[in-house]
């Protein structure tokens, strides 16, 4: 038995309980978790904004050590450090065949399977494939990536979602160029990763926007050169800080209609707005036909940073080893499993960056 955080139904409180995991069969890997990040997507799963089969063990951003492997697994071995990949690509669907692996049609197929059982025999699904809010997990082999050399194991959990998403939003989705101005709306774990990635790209100025004045020091440490407390005048404030034109690039990390609209309004004519935040289907953003023509802006979504983890992890590891990207700067709280509900409350209140469950 290992301890895990279980979501029994939408809106239900998380239950910390023992679960029984099977031994890894062919093509599967058992991992002992070192740490798991508490992502806003976990909150979205718990409140029904995103849907998965339930009951489930939540958690999708994690890293740990291989305990055992099933037949046919050759790329990792017991004792290896690994990063969990919650959205593995199948390699054969239309999206994968054209290189858009982040849009793989089958990425979440594993979430429908049976992952574990509780002591009374209740079957559990793996939340977003990996069930990382647990002391141990058993996952498909393509859900584990070898830990790059020189990357701390616990902090490496952040590579599984926040960092790949933030880095990819800047370098793949928005394609930020050196010297371009960037505004980042929402300074949580992903927003902090976006700020660090914009700094790596040589952007400037880099403007952080959040509802909380207390996050300014956190944002500036991550690379923000300017900080704006969100208000009704945010778009005007951004234009003032960019010579009256607006930012070249806006990256929205909150997943709300109001912030998406503000991101759009904050960019210059011909600017680019990339939406990273996951909002509910009731969050509607409206534009009129004339402004679409006049402003000539681009609005695009971004899934998992439009990243290919197998290619991007080595690049990120080099930035980490060189000191250009600091994983620990994203973490504002290290907690136990039973601290996850409080971490959810902090997210709802707009407090802190990334909470990290450390086992």
CATH number, domain containing residue 254: 3.40.50.720
Domain count, the chain: 2
Its domain, for residue 36, covers: 2-160+326-358
Q: How far apart are CA 226 and CA 22, in angstroms?
A: 51
Q: Are residues 187 and 138 both part of a single domain?
A: no
Neighbours of 167 (CB within 10 A): 26
User: Which residues of the chain carry a pLDDT beneath 50?
Assistant: none
Q: Are residues 155 and 168 both part of a single domain?
A: no
- pLDDT attached to residue 292: 95
- pLDDT attached to residue 348: 84
Q: How far apart are CA 98 and CA 328, in angstroms?
A: 35
Give a yes or no: residue 335 inside a domain: yes
Give a yes or no: residue 190 inside a domain: yes
Give a yes or no: residue 314 inside a domain: no
Q: Distance between the two ends of the chain, CA-based, in angstroms?
A: 15
Q: Are residues 10 and 64 both part of a single domain?
A: yes
Q: Are residues 28 and 44 both part of a single domain?
A: yes
CATH number, domain containing residue 342: 3.90.180.10
Of 303, 318, 336, which marks where a domain is finished? 303
Q: Are residues 156 and 25 both part of a single domain?
A: yes
Q: Are residues 342 and 287 both part of a single domain?
A: no
Residue 164's alpha-carbon distances to 107, 137, 186, 326, in angstroms, are 16, 21, 17, 13
Q: Are residues 59 and 168 both part of a single domain?
A: no
Q: Are residues 104 and 62 both part of a single domain?
A: yes
Alpha carbon 328 to its chain's center:
15
Q: How far apart are CA 263 and CA 247, in angstroms?
A: 9
Give a yes or no: residue 318 inside a domain: no
Give a yes or no: residue 257 inside a domain: yes
Q: Are residues 153 and 7 both part of a single domain?
A: yes
Give a yes or no: residue 9 inside a domain: yes
Q: Are residues 148 and 206 both part of a single domain?
A: no
Give a yes or no: residue 310 inside a domain: no
Q: Are residues 153 and 181 both part of a single domain?
A: no
* DSSP assignment of 150-213: T--TTGGGGGGTHHHHHHHIIIIIS---TT--EEEE--SHHHHHHHHHHHHTT-SSEEEEES-G
- pLDDT attached to residue 65: 98
Q: Are residues 28 and 97 both part of a single domain?
A: yes
* DSSP assignment of 256-295: -HHHHHHHHHHEEEEEEEEE-S---TT------HHHHHHH
- pLDDT attached to residue 40: 86
Give a yes or no: residue 321 inside a domain: no
């Amino acid at each position: 038995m290992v301890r895990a955080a279980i979501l029994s139904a939408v809106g239900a409180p998380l239950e910390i309980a023992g679960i029984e995991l099977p031994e890894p069969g062919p093509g599967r890997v058992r991992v002992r978790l070192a740490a798991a990040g508490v992502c806003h997507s976990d909150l979205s799963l718990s409140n029904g904004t995103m849907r998965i089969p339930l009951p489930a063990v939540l958690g999708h951003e994690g890293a740990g050590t291989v305990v055992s492997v099933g037949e046919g697994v050759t790329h990792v071995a017991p004792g290896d450090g690994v990063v969990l990949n919650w959205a593995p690509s199948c390699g054969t669907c239309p999206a994968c065949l054209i290189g858009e692996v982040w849009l793989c049609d089958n990425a979440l197929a594993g979430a429908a399977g049976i992952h574990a059982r509780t002591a009374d025999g209740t079957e559990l699904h793996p939340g977003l494939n990996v069930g990382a809010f647990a002391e141990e997990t058993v996952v498909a082999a393509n859900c584990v990536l070898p830990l790059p050399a020189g990357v701390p194991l616990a902090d490496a959990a952040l590579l599984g979602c926040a960092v790949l998403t933030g880095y990819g939003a800047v370098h793949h989705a928005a394609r930020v160029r050196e010297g371009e101005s960037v505004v980042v709306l929402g300074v949580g774990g992903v927003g902090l990763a976006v700020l660090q990635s914009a700094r790596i790209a040589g952007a400037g100025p880099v403007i952080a926007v959040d509802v909380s004045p207390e996050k300014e020091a956190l944002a500036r440490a991550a690379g923000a050169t300017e900080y704006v407390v969100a208000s009704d005048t945010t778009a005007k404030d951004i234009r003032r800080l960019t010579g009256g034109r607006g930012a070249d690039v806006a990256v929205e990390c909150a997943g709300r209609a109001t912030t998406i609209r503000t991101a759009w309004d904050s960019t210059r004519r011909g600017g680019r707005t990339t939406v990273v935040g996951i909002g509910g289907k009731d969050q509607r953003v409206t534009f009129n036909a004339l402004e679409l023509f006049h402003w000539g802006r681009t609005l695009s979504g971004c899934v998992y940073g439009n990243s290919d983890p197998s290619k991007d992890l080595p690049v990120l590891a080099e930035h980490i080893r060189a000191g250009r990207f600091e994983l620990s700067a994203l973490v504002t709280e290290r907690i136990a499993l039973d601290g996850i509900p409080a971490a959810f409350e902090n997210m709802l209140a707009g407090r802190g960056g990334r909470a990290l469950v450390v086992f």
